[in-house]
Amino acid sequence: MSTPEHNKKPKMGDRWAHIDKLLSRTGPLAVEGFDEAVGMIRPFLQDSVRILVIGAGGLGCELLKDLALMGFRNIDVIDMDTIDLSNLNRQFLFREADIGSPKAEVAAKFIEKRVPGCKVTPHFSRIESKDRAFYKQFTVVVCGLDSIVARRWVNSMMHSLLRYDEAGELDQSSMIPLVDGGTEGFQGNARVIFPGMTACVECMLSLYTPQVNFPMCTIANTPRLPEHCIEFARLVLWPKHRDDQIDGDNPEHITWLFEKARERAAEFGIGGVTYRLTQGVTKRIIPNVASTSAVIAAACANEVFKVVSSCTKYLDNNLIFNDVDGVYTYAYKYDRDPDCLTCSNKPVDVACSPEMSLTHLRETLCTSDKFQLRGPGLTTTVGGKNKTLYMARPAALEQATRPNLDKSLAELGLEHNQMVNVVDPTVAGALRLRLVMKQQP
Amino acid sequence: MSEDKNVVPSQREQRYDRQLRLWGDHGQRDLEAAHVCVINATTLGTETIKNLVLPGIGKFTIVDPEFVTTEDLGTNFFFEERHIGQPRANAATELLLELNSSVEGNAKVDTMANVLAKDPDFFRQFSVVVACDTPLYALLPLATLLWAEQIPLLVARAYGMIGYLRLVTPEHTVIESHIAAFDDLRLTRPFPELLAHARSTILDDLSLDKHSHVPYPILVLRGIDAWRETHADLPRTRAEKKEFAGMLASWRRTKDDGSGVADEENFAEAMAKCNTIFRSAPNVPSEIQALLDDPKCSNPDKSAFWQLCNALKAFVSVHNDLPLSGAVPDMHADSRSYVALQQLYRSKAAADQAFIKDALASRLPNALVARFCKNAAGLVVVRTPSLETELTGHCGKLSDAAAMSVGDETRAFEFYIALRACDRFHEKHNRYPGTGAHAHEEDAGELSSMCADVLRNAGVDGVTIGDDCVKEMCRYGAAQLHSVAAFVGGMTSQEIVKLVTQQYVPANHTIIYNGVQGDSRTLNF
């Protein structure tokens, strides 16, 4: 820009001149009450606010940059991954020399160097290794994850921090806003969640397309696509011939699968098995480009800035983005599910019968659209005593509770309206279920 | 880049793996051959370049006369404190090149206007030019030159909470639009080999296992033969389609133990597809027919696209159909039947490609001809109005855009006009509204009347721009919020990838992003 004011000699105090236009001036689109706070907002944003960024991948790198340049100075970042060569086409805080180092640590160091005054605290760990006291420290939590299970876990964690009074009214001071971004190829979404107040990740679960698995009978008997042959090599041949776990980044492993898949494809006259496809199917690779990460992270960071400062109103509550055919965005309000597993603050009904086996009940919890659990463990109270129905871990408990799997709910002493607590990889605490028995004993 | 699909990928392929799965090795080659010019290393400018250096664009050149200030450090990631007082173009080039050693970057410390005056040929070297955060009126001479050279120009801006992106090009052609198309199986107009193959399948002679693995296209073709015995025309109405599906249902076998109808998934597939198979659609979609009717199709220029369209026109005049794509979706079938069917479609597609190749006036690479034929149903041509038309003419379609945006929550049209008015303000005062020492609100009155001027000059009646939009624009004072600049930079870089790869469809032609709503609209006028 070549306006005269830009030609003045710069002062150090001008550093935040751009965001100050929004933070020190009010306007018709500001949130009510913003006027009274003008002047105090930047110091608040810079000194009192602490943001947690979950994930230091494609979205995470962008988010850290975006937030640091929106004036935030206390940022934590958590990621359990190390840097891989295939990250470098979009994760711009990493260089070839960083390959193998923890993403969170390299990213934090880079931001601190490039944006002096911004403190970024890295956590090279799993999200599940942090407790409620950790998550409670933040003003806003931003998610840049590629896993639905992890996203559901974070959502569950942020809801577990909510406090309700005796009348069931939410104590809003216990609420920490959650901003969530996701990308795949040229598509993405961003959402703003006020736990306990607006639709949460669990309410919107149906928006995620379920993972496609080829039926085993097709893979084994009637392969038609190169993918079927690769899955045959991975699921049937590998366990038969090899003892080690498949590592999708080990070229020897992928080469082995590729050769076997190619042999099988040749047998059936199927073309198109390549090394790239073999690795893609084996690792379930999600294609990603820099531009989509940039757009979605920017949308999320913009929402964080608005939510914290109230300088304008914010996204209500879901944005979808796709730039294959032109540039398509659509922001709309997703309604809360009054019976949501996570945010309804009440037990959720599950239909069952006294004859149903515990295995069947667990399968229902995994396959039904509403629950989509991954490995539920169940406990309950029978006759005033705590009773563990089934736990997948630790191994000793699994062994002790395994015989229960074949028993019917009636045999286990479970009745109509029985309350059952469920733990699962998608849940930070426990779900409360109410068994609704079709035939009451 | 190595394209041997049978060896462990090179370092380079591993680095680009996640994008090669989207635009392919040929898309990557096009990207690596491209040279993009970015005018102004504002936040928007450097964010755009960042998203191009990462995937490995060939070259970039920054043209920028300004020097790094302290306030740049608060919004732009590609400057450090040591750069204060140095040319922005140099500092940004240095830090951007750290992202990818395969990319070449140049800096030109000068104004666009000076470069244009001294060396007009300079801009002819680029694949695409992007002008960042420049008022539209200042771009007219450059836009005119690029228009004549058929070099696409993108105009991108981050203005407070408002983002703007405009494509200016007389023509951009797309071979691989990647828009999901219907399956192209020709079941209502089968080619002879397909029909013969279907008729050689005698359903009644098959065991139950074989019967339940006959690919659904064969079932449909056999069904059509049976249908024609009693009907003059194919099923068209909903009732007829239902009747056809019912006929297929009646062909299902009973289970071996006689306990009811066997669960034959191939029949279920055939029945479910009846609606789309018998939809009434012309052999050549209207969008493609419009391309064939374009004067450039009969008298193609040197571009491969129009030469291929010319050959396509010859193909359609003979076959009254597009070349077959050759793609067969997965379906319930045994391996042998599926592969046999796939072979038929592939042979026909190869024959169609050979026709196109022979009809071409000059030789083109086989791979290109094959891609063109495969995607013939999704070809796209994008033509936008020139910047001159937009700025100086009475644009009739602008009134339509205004009418269509009544009730639009993003208020894209109003912000578009307000942005034009901000340029007018800048032209008059050499500063944007809401900048300078006085209170920002003081500029609102003048900006408001300039909005009315813009509308009047464009011939748009009966529309006013809301006071809240005008006041917000004054509040923004042309601030570059990093978030908004990064959002627009992300969009801009992807539009550039589209332009240089001829893949995906660029937005036509003006995108307004409203950072308050978190939503955008594309205006076409």
Q: Is B38 found in the same domain as B97?
A: yes
Domain assignment of residue B3, yes or no: no
Between chains, do B477 and A21 touch, taking CB under 8 Å as contact? yes
CB neighbourhood size of B135 (10 A): 20
Q: Is A189 found in the same domain as A73?
A: yes
Domain assignment of residue A200, yes or no: yes
pLDDT for residue A300 is more than 60: yes
Tokens read off for A44:
């608040």
pLDDT given for residue A210 in this prediction: 72
Backbone torsions φ then ψ of B385, nearest 5 degrees: -65, 155
pLDDT given for residue A4 in this prediction: 44
What is the domain-level CATH number for residue A251? 1.10.10.520
Domain assignment of residue A339, yes or no: no
Domain assignment of residue A132, yes or no: yes
Residues of A in contact with B43 (CB under 8 A): 69
Domain assignment of residue A3, yes or no: no
B135: helix, strand or coil: coil
Q: Residue A328 belongs to what domain range?
A: 12-208+289-332
pLDDT band at A439 (very low <50, low <70, confident <90, very high): low
Which residue type occupies A307? Answer: V
Domain-terminating residue out of B353, B382, B411: B382
C-alpha–C-alpha distance, residues A345 and A336, integer Å: 12
pLDDT given for residue A2 in this prediction: 42
Between chains, do A289 and B19 touch, taking CB under 8 Å as contact? yes
pLDDT tens column, B412-422: 999 999 999 99
Work out how many CB contacts closer than 8 A connect A with B. Answer: 285
Q: Is B265 found in the same domain as B393?
A: no
Which residue type occupies B93? Answer: T
Lowest mean pLDDT among A83-87, A108-112, A396-400, B396-400: B396-400
pLDDT given for residue A6 in this prediction: 44
Mean pLDDT, residues A28-54 taken together? 93
pLDDT tens column, A143-154: 999 999 999 999
Q: Is B394 found in the same domain as B366?
A: no
- With vertex at residue B380, the alpha carbon angle to CA B378 and CA B385, rounded to the nearest 5 degrees, is 160
Q: Is B297 found in the same domain as B247?
A: no
Q: Is A132 found in the same domain as A59?
A: yes
pLDDT band at B4 (very low <50, low <70, confident <90, very high): low
Rg value, chain B, Cα: 29
pLDDT given for residue A370 in this prediction: 87
Domain assignment of residue B327, yes or no: yes
Which residue type occupies A180? Answer: D
From B170's Cα to the closest Cα of chain A, the distance in A is 17
What is the domain-level CATH number for residue A425? 3.10.290.20
Domain assignment of residue A366, yes or no: yes
Between chains, do A10 and B333 touch, taking CB under 8 Å as contact? no
**ipTM, 2 dp:** 0.96
pLDDT band at B3 (very low <50, low <70, confident <90, very high): low
Q: Is A277 found in the same domain as A295?
A: no
Q: Kindly write down the DSSP assignment for every residue of B414-441, as one continuous string.
A: HHHHHHHHHHHHHHHHSS-TT-SSS-GG
Q: Is A183 found in the same domain as A55?
A: yes
pLDDT band at B319 (very low <50, low <70, confident <90, very high): very high
Residues of B in contact with A186 (CB under 8 A): 22, 494, 504
Q: Residue B221 belongs to what domain range?
A: 192-277
Tokens read off for B134:
């420049």
pLDDT given for residue A8 in this prediction: 45
Q: Is A302 found in the same domain as A265?
A: no
- With vertex at residue A5, the alpha carbon angle to CA A4 and CA A10, rounded to the nearest 5 degrees, is 125
From B77's Cα to the closest Cα of chain A, the distance in A is 7
Domain assignment of residue B57, yes or no: yes
Lowest mean pLDDT among A11-15, A70-74, A198-202, B102-106: A11-15
pLDDT for residue B499 is more than 70: yes
Top residue of A282, A324, A333 to mutate, by most chain B CBs within 10 Å, is A324
Q: Is B463 found in the same domain as B354?
A: no
pLDDT for residue A405 is more than 80: yes
Domain assignment of residue A365, yes or no: yes
CB neighbourhood size of B383 (10 A): 11
Domain-terminating residue out of B339, B360, B382: B382
Between chains, do A28 and B47 touch, taking CB under 8 Å as contact? no
Exposed e or buried b per residue across B267-298, where buried means at least 16 C-beta atoms within 10 angstroms of its C-beta: bebbbebbeebbeeeeebbeebeebbebebbe
From A18's Cα to the closest Cα of chain B, the distance in A is 5
pLDDT for residue A3 is more than 50: no
Number of domains in chain A: 3
pLDDT given for residue B1 in this prediction: 41
Q: Is B466 found in the same domain as B324?
A: no
Q: Is A352 found in the same domain as A279?
A: no
Q: Which of B22, B61, B64, B73 is nearest to B41 (CA)?
A: B64
Q: Is A148 found in the same domain as A80?
A: yes
Q: Is B346 found in the same domain as B301?
A: yes
What is the domain-level CATH number for residue A31? 3.40.50.720
C-alpha–C-alpha distance, residues A75 and A304, integer Å: 12
pLDDT band at B397 (very low <50, low <70, confident <90, very high): confident
Interhelix angle for B335-359 vs B366-374, to 10°? 110
pLDDT tens column, B255-294: 878 888 888 999 999 999 999 999 988 999 999 999 999 9
The answer to whether B271 and B237 are in contact (CB under 8 A) is no
Q: Is B294 found in the same domain as B250?
A: no
Mean pLDDT, residues B146-171 taken together? 98
Mean pLDDT, residues B332-346 taken together? 97
- Residue A333 is classified by DSSP as P
Can you point out the beta strands (E) in B296-406? Answer: 380-382
Q: Is B365 found in the same domain as B430?
A: no
Domain-terminating residue out of A275, A307, A332: A332
Interhelix angle for B17-32 vs A275-283, to 10°? 140
Residues of B in contact with A268 (CB under 8 A): 335-336, 339
Domain assignment of residue B438, yes or no: yes
- Residue A163 is classified by DSSP as E
- Adjacent-strand bridge partners of A121: A76
What is the domain-level CATH number for residue B415? 3.40.50.12550
C-alpha–C-alpha distance, residues B173 and A107, integer Å: 40
pLDDT tens column, B25-67: 999 999 999 999 999 999 999 999 999 999 999 999 999 999 9
* Residues in chain A, total: 441
Mean pLDDT, residues A93-111 taken together? 98
Q: Is B170 found in the same domain as B25?
A: yes
- Residue A405 is classified by DSSP as G
Q: Is A377 found in the same domain as A243?
A: no
Number of domains in chain B: 4
pLDDT tens column, B357-385: 999 999 999 999 999 999 999 999 999 99
Residues of A in contact with B160 (CB under 8 A): 21-22
Backbone torsions φ then ψ of B219, nearest 5 degrees: -60, -45
Q: Is A139 found in the same domain as A26?
A: yes
pLDDT given for residue B47 in this prediction: 98
Q: What is the maximum span of chain B, computed from C-alpha positions, in angstroms?
A: 91
Q: Is A28 found in the same domain as A130?
A: yes
Domain-terminating residue out of B346, B367, B382: B382
Between chains, do B18 and A288 touch, taking CB under 8 Å as contact? yes
Q: Is A249 found in the same domain as A204?
A: no
pLDDT band at B337 (very low <50, low <70, confident <90, very high): very high
Phi-psi region of B460 (alpha: psi -120 to 50; beta: other; left: phi over 0): beta
Q: Which of A173, A142, A178 is nearest to A158 (CA)?
A: A178
Between chains, do A324 and B179 touch, taking CB under 8 Å as contact? yes
What is the domain-level CATH number for residue B139? 3.40.50.720
B67: helix, strand or coil: strand
Percent of chain B with pLDDT over 90: 89
pLDDT tens column, A361-375: 999 999 888 899 999
Q: Is A313 found in the same domain as A371?
A: no
Domain assignment of residue A142, yes or no: yes
Mean pLDDT, residues A11-19 taken together? 81
C-alpha–C-alpha distance, residues A149 and A127, integer Å: 11
Domain assignment of residue B490, yes or no: yes
Q: Is B156 found in the same domain as B36?
A: yes
Q: Is B242 found in the same domain as B339?
A: no
Which residue type occupies A11? Answer: K
Rounded to the nearest integer, the mean pLDDT of chain A is 93
Interhelix angle for B482-501 vs A58-69, to 10°? 140
Mean pLDDT, residues B89-110 taken together? 98
CB neighbour class for A406 (10 Å; exposed up to 12, middle 13-18, buried from 19): exposed
